[in-house]
A = this chain, B = another copy of it.
Amino acid sequence: MAWASKLLFIFFLSIFTIDPISSYKQHPLDPLSPEELNLTQTIVKDSFPSSNNTTLTFHYVGLDEPDKPVLLSWLSKPTNKPPPRALAITRFNKQTHEFIIDLANRSIISNHVYAGYGYPTLGIDEQTEAMQLPLKYDPFIGSIRKRGLNLSAIVCSSFTVGWFGRARNRRVVKLQCFHMNDTVNLYLLPIEGIQIIVDLEEMKIVEYNDSFKVPVPNSEGTDYRLSKQKPPFGPRINRAAIMQPDGPGFHIDGHTIRWMNWVFHLSFDARVGPMISLASIYDSEKHKYRSVLYRGHISELFGPYQDPTEEYYFNTFFDCGEFGFGLSAASLVPLADCPNNAVFMDGYYAGQNGIPVKVSNVFCIFERHAGDIMWRHTEFDIPDVSITEARPEVSLVVRMVATIGNYDHILDWEFKPSGSINIQVGLSGILEVKAATYTHSDQIKEDVYGTLLAENTIGLYHDHFLTYRLDVDIDGVDNSFIKHNLITKTVTDNSTARKSYWTVVSETAKTESEAKIRLGLKPAELVIVNPNKKTRPGNSYGYRLMPGPEAHSLLLEDDYPQIRGAFTKYNVWVTPYNKSEKWAGGRYVDQSHGQDTLAVWSLRNREIDNKDIVLWYVIGIHHVPCQEDFPVMPTLSSGFELRPTNFFERSAVLKVIPPKPVIWPNYNASP
């Protein structure tokens, strides 16, 4: 389509962008540069009376994503001035301000005060400050002494409080403290019974309660650092490296990545981390790039824990909106988080004071050579000839890791030359546990809401619901969502020896309600099509959603956390594009009342047939902890695939050129 080809032109323009402020030279979807972040901070700061600027905090600074029609028209005529760049969400005098700023003209386009329920993403600095408060708080010091613990080994961590039917009119967090005592694995050493609530804007402890005493679990064997391990060691991994004599097959220009038949834009966002935009694939028959995904990113992660007791009931987190996946991004470790052939990119977000913070190696990009087979066939049936044709699979992976406290979320976007996009999530890190007096499960006579992982240590039941927003543009903006239902037909007329078979009965979802799907209930192929464009045999261009294992929320619909996370009732949703509908849990999720969620938007039951539609997919994992998850859990993965289905006239990889073998001289095996 038009913009895809124009796009390349833009990409070329953007390669040598040097002055990030003269944004008309930038790609309009590029993340804000450090200079732009600084400029935004200055402009916002100057808009307030300098006297009490002290109370000004920045909670989100990033791209004010242009409305899609605006962006598409700009891409088709890039000579115009691009749309304004910056969105800043700040707190000032206990009010939430939304600024939209034209950086080119250094002017504020709008400054809107948000008065509804819910608060913006927590700042890192305020949480760090809050986590220090107990250490100077006499009642807490008393509680620690009472327990015979060592104050210098105490580390506290901040948790959002959620909403349970009673509005608190202040931004608060709960603190959970841990006794680290010769380990760095704090999360496995909770100090039970102490309840601390901190008002972040007063920056003081406003509630404190030490109810009872359960011993802190033994820290033995909890440390995960290599340097702290004692024999017997685990198995050794032999050295291995990917050698690519011709270098990698991809090229990165600014934020645009080209690889084999793919081109897409990759940007970093403080709230959700990686955003994939304008992903298009080159069709060698049509001699052009064809659009697949206008914009794709994780939208929200709902993580409800299943311990209803006073100490843990509130653990129902919305990691993207409350803590920020980008703010929580880890610097990736070469050779461990990413293979030796990976290329790394840095990211920048605005600190709580608005000043840019750099995250080195926030993304890695690498070609995966996993030893899989792209396609193959051996022909046995033709007499006197032997034919085997096979092609090795290769894919391009974009990775980021978001570490929210104890959990590490590995976010992979994998592109394949066949046209498939795999979206994978890996969970690692450390379980949330609670301390208990139990040392053996035989002692347990009641529901403890978790698994006894070790002495005095219960790994709590919980869920991970990762909701992806996928603004698909299957070779054009207007698409439809089709359920190809597989229906059993009964043969009654003896016209054949068969008594039954299944066939496809297709159903186009006309409105949002027809596209809410809980997987596993009835067999169907779910396809996003462009109803306006057909292949030569007359099939609508399409991409199929290939789900992974299914899980949906098991909470009651009227339970408060579920009201806020109602978008986890189904696995699949489809909505018409709407600039304001990006965050499945709402823009202001901290203490939200669930009025601004995907589930609420879609109650309008808008038309989605042959419209610019957005596909939402919920990866769900019910997590019953097991001892192998202790002290650090081996990666648990899930995901889904977008697979071309009558998008191409035929296989896009039939004519792929296989690589020549790599030959290298002997090398020193022990450097």
Contact = CB atoms under 8 A, between A and B. Distances in A.
A629 B656 contact: no
Contacts of A536: 440, 454-455
Contacts of A630: 650-651
A497 B234 contact: no
A510 interface: no
Interface stretch (A110-118, A193-201, A219-227, A344-352): A219-227
Contacts of A374: 634-635
A8 interface: no
A368 interface: yes
A224 B389 contact: yes
A261 B248 CA distance: 33
Given A236-B657, A628-B650, A665 B662 contact: no
A212 interface: no
Interface stretch (A49-57, A141-149, A375-383): A375-383
A308 B428 contact: no
A232 B284 contact: yes
A445 interface: no
A499 B656 contact: no
B376 A501 contact: no
Contacts of A242: 240-243, 369
A535 interface: yes
Nearest to A381: B157
A406 B377 CA distance: 8
A314 B624 contact: no
A310 B496 contact: yes
A392 B336 contact: yes
B401 A336 contact: no
Which of A234, A383, A629 has the most chain B CB within a 10 Å cutoff?
A234
A474 interface: no
Contacts of A626: 539, 542, 544, 644-646
Nearest to A502: B554
Given A234-B656, A491-B308, A498-B561, A454 B225 contact: no
Given A240-B659, A242-B241, A632-B377, A234 B284 contact: yes
Contacts of A560: 497-499
A157 B484 CA distance: 32
Given A372-B635, A392-B336, A661 B239 contact: yes
Contacts of A447: 503
Interface stretch (A62-70, A76-84, A271-279, A515-523): A515-523
A132 to B, nearest CB: 7
Q: For the complex of A and B, list the 6 residue pairs with the smallest distance between their C-beta atoms, beginning with the closest.
A: A520-B520, A441-B538, A241-B662, A336-B390, A370-B370, A235-B260
23 contacts: A224-B389, A229-B654, A236-B249, A237-B394, A240-B662, A308-B491, A340-B662, A366-B371, A368-B371, A376-B429, A377-B403, A442-B538, A452-B539, A453-B537, A454-B537, A461-B501, A488-B556, A502-B555, A519-B520, A525-B624, A627-B646, A628-B647, A634-B651
